[in-house]
Amino acid sequence: MAKQRGTALEPEEKRKLNKQNLSKLGGIFRFLMPYKWAFFLGLVFLLFSSLTLLTFPFVAGKLIDTAQGGDWIVNDVNTIALLLIGILAVQSIFSFFRVWLFALVSERSMRDIRHSLYSRLVRLPMRFFDQRRTGELISRITSDVSQLQDTFSTTLAELFRQVITLVAGVAFLLINTPKLTLFMLGTFPVLVLVAMVFGRFIRRLSKKTQDELAGANVIVEETLQSIATVKSFVGEGFESDRYGKGLGRVVEVALKTAKYRGAFISFIIFALFGGIVGVMWYGASLVASGDMSVGELVSFVLYTTFIGGSIAGLGDIYSQLQKAIGSSERVLEILEEPAESETGQSSDKFLGKIEFDQVSFRYPARPEVEVLKSISMTINPGEKVALAGHSGAGKSTIIQLLLRFYEVEKGAIRVDDRDVKDWYLKSLRSKIGIVPQEVLLFGGSIRENIAYAKPGATEEEIILACKKANAWQFISQFPEGLDTLVGERGIKLSGGQRQRVAIARAILKDPAILILDEATSSLDAESESLVQQALDELMKGRTTLIIAHRLATIRKVDRIYVLSEGKIVEEGSHQELVQEESGFYSNLVKLQFAD
């Protein structure tokens, strides 16, 4: 059966507030430590703000009592009114500093989280990215961190404020109006408990309604995706009936939900207002008997309003904390992923000798397929070697292993007679330049894209690299020259122009080992000629490894390794291999030129 989409509650969104899950949220707190004093000061202002506001109902009650001739520290209603305004003013000042300090802590700590998350992401091995979707990873650094930001800037502050209001409010009531408070505490918790049980039952029914609707929507999705099949089998009537039955189940569950929701709302209105009537009746009785003043009753009503708001707010805070735990779990998952190795040896003298010794490999995401099978080859410094073979033969995998995007399963790869595992990874990759078949440039200027290979390069070095790559002739014609914006993924440049920018970048890097992924395969004749000239310039004096798609471009290399199903089946020069009429390479050449 097709997987249902759009259910009411995504399991990854919510987490129970148990000790184990709260510890995950605690793992994010380490990012708050550099700003702990600002956070602590914010809590102090939060405490003062909440307690100051809680004096308001008490003083408001005294205002009523004083107006009726009661006796208090201040006996003038105007002075008490000014005192109330003063309380609000002081509370506003405390609130300002509380909001500002929590914002300072959350903004800076979230900046640190985003930076740590991004720094970790770009240092993770390729196998991690093979198993994740790009959209999911972007969501971690945007949506999940934004959820955490809301938690640290608002939710935590609100949690503390509501708890302070609830505890301090009940304490004020117990001190000032103990009899009425005990009466309220004896009735309202029962109502809240019944409402919670009832509410949970209705939420389950609401979820079931959405699940049934999601099931009906799956029918629509499957039908529209396979509309040709539906029509060819004359299944329109069958699918309409199936969808109609699905909608019938939706209506059935929705009406059942509406029935219970109506009963729930009626109960809440009756019980809640009945409870309020009961409290007011008891309060009025206490006022009539002289056990309570009118001002104290007013104070009680105001305090009860504050406490009721806190209880209501805690429900939403509980939900926000559940989501925050889910977000912290997903963020910590990346932060705790082991990064690529940062240790190893480097060398000032880099010759560019490459040796594959009985290398076998399977991609972690596809362990059942052996991509390379006991590959052995040696490329001496300065040699130009090509890898030929059908698509999927393992040519690109050899390059990825050389760059150490993946670790070899069996055998060894050595560069300058040193195992690649022993090289300092940045040092190794800094000596390898690559010109890919499909060049994806960054969205900035031509200058930024070329200088990416050497961030401190001078203007003269960049221009020289452009001239060697046959790129300066078109760059100099742009009004902005090197500062011309290439657009997202280099879309504003033609294929040939992008290739020459990539070659200029490789020239500026000045690598000892050069990898060419058939950089001219998708170009027109004129662009191919210019790019080929640039590549000839680039290959001078470098160990060059060419992935060959078009065999006509590799006739001049020193040696060709022919791969088939992960094995080297032939090796030799173009002339040697072509002479083997029944050979694999010779057959490839015939097939290609026959086209």
428-460 pLDDT, tens digit per residue, is 888 888 887 777 787 788 888 888 888 888 888
Query: Is residue 435 within 8 Å of 516, Cβ to Cβ?
Result: yes
- Whether residue 239 is predicted with pLDDT greater than 50 in this model: the reply is yes
Residue 69: predicted pLDDT: 66
Q: How many CA atoms, within 13 angstroms, populate the side-chain half-sphere of residue 77?
A: 10
pLDDT confidence tier of residue 525, bands split at 50, 70 and 90: low
Of residues 177 and 244, the one with the higher pLDDT is 244
End-to-end, the C-alpha distance of the chain in Å comes to 45
Adjacent-strand bridge partners of 354: 379, 415
The rounded percent of the chain whose pLDDT value lies above 70 is: 88
* pLDDT tens column, 562-571: 888 888 888 8
**pLDDT (average), residues 574-583:** 80
- 234: its two tokens: 């004359």
Helix 77-122 vs helix 36-67: angle between axes, to the nearest 10 degrees?
160
- Whether residue 216 is predicted with pLDDT greater than 60 in this model: the reply is yes
Which CA distances in Å does 292 have to 66, 281, 288, 301, 315?
A: 14, 13, 8, 13, 33
C-alpha closest to that of 39 among 126, 160, 137: 160
* pLDDT tens column, 377-402: 888 988 888 888 887 788 888 888 88
Residue 3: predicted pLDDT: 40
Angle at 69 between CA 68 and CA 72, to 5 degrees: 110
User: Where are any strands of DSSP class E within 327-450?
Assistant: 354-361, 372-379, 384-389, 410-415, 418-419, 432-435
What is the distance of C-alpha 353 from the center of its chain?
Answer: 40
pLDDT confidence tier of residue 549, bands split at 50, 70 and 90: low
- 404: its two tokens: 């150490």
Residue 96: predicted pLDDT: 92
Residue 188: predicted pLDDT: 67
pLDDT confidence tier of residue 346, bands split at 50, 70 and 90: confident
Q: What CA–CA distance (Å, rounded) separates 309 from 298? A: 17
Query: Is residue 166 within 8 Å of 311, Cβ to Cβ?
Result: yes
Segments making up each domain of the chain, as ranges = 19-335, 354-594
Adjacent-strand bridge partners of 559: 385
- 546: its two tokens: 């060419």
Amino acid at 28: I
pLDDT confidence tier of residue 5, bands split at 50, 70 and 90: very low
Residue 524: predicted pLDDT: 59
* pLDDT tens column, 189-206: 666 677 667 767 777 777
Secondary structure class of 6 (helix, strand, coil): coil
Q: What CA–CA distance (Å, rounded) separates 515 from 211? A: 52
* pLDDT tens column, 240-261: 888 888 888 888 888 887 887 7
Amino acid at 350: F
pLDDT confidence tier of residue 588, bands split at 50, 70 and 90: confident
* pLDDT tens column, 496-507: 788 888 888 888
* pLDDT tens column, 66-122: 777 666 777 777 888 888 898 889 989 998 998 899 889 888 988 898 888 888 888
Q: What CA–CA distance (Å, rounded) separates 375 from 359? A: 5
Residue 93: predicted pLDDT: 92
- Whether residue 490 is predicted with pLDDT greater than 50 in this model: the reply is yes
Q: What is the pTM of this model?
A: 0.70
C-alpha closest to that of 172 among 158, 184, 155: 184
Mean pLDDT is highest, among 16-30, 36-50, 516-530, 539-553, for 36-50
Mean pLDDT is highest, among 21-25, 148-152, 314-318, 457-461, for 457-461
Q: What CA–CA distance (Å, rounded) separates 404 from 406? A: 5
Residue 12: predicted pLDDT: 44
Task: Name the average pLDDT for the chain.
Answer: 80
User: Where are any strands of DSSP class E within 105-166?
Assistant: none
Alpha-carbon dihedral angle through residues 319, 320, 323, 324, given to the nearest 10 degrees: -140
Pick the CATH number of 19-335 from 1.10.3720.10, 3.30.470.10, 3.30.565.10, 1.20.1560.10: 1.20.1560.10
Q: What CA–CA distance (Å, rounded) separates 316 from 32? A: 24
Sign of the C-alpha dihedral, residues 273, 279, 284, 285?
Answer: positive
Residue 7: predicted pLDDT: 34
**pLDDT (average), residues 296-321:** 77
- Whether residue 41 is predicted with pLDDT greater than 90 in this model: the reply is yes
**Among 3-7, 39-43, 98-102, 474-478, which is the least confidently predicted range?**
3-7
Residue 22: predicted pLDDT: 66
- Whether residue 10 is predicted with pLDDT greater than 60 in this model: the reply is no
- 414: its two tokens: 């050595």
- 50: its two tokens: 């909440």
Q: What CA–CA distance (Å, rounded) separates 55 from 87? A: 8
Residues 247-261 as b/e (b if ≥16 CB within 10 A, e otherwise) read eebbeebbeebeeee
- 275: its two tokens: 């409870």
Q: What CA–CA distance (Å, rounded) separates 41 from 19? A: 27
Characterize the bridge pairing of strands 418-419 and 410-415: antiparallel
Q: Does domain 354-594 have CATH number 3.30.930.10?
A: no
Query: Is residue 429 within 8 Å of 344, Cβ to Cβ?
Result: no
- Whether residue 577 is predicted with pLDDT greater than 70 in this model: the reply is yes
- Whether residue 19 is predicted with pLDDT greater than 80 in this model: the reply is no
- Residue 294 neighbours by CB distance under 10 Å: 16
137: exposed, middle or buried (C-beta count within 10 Å: 0-12, 13-18, 19+)? middle
89 Cβ partners below 8 Å, 6+ apart?
none
Residues 522-538 as b/e (b if ≥16 CB within 10 A, e otherwise) read ebeeebbebbeebbeeb
pLDDT confidence tier of residue 9, bands split at 50, 70 and 90: very low
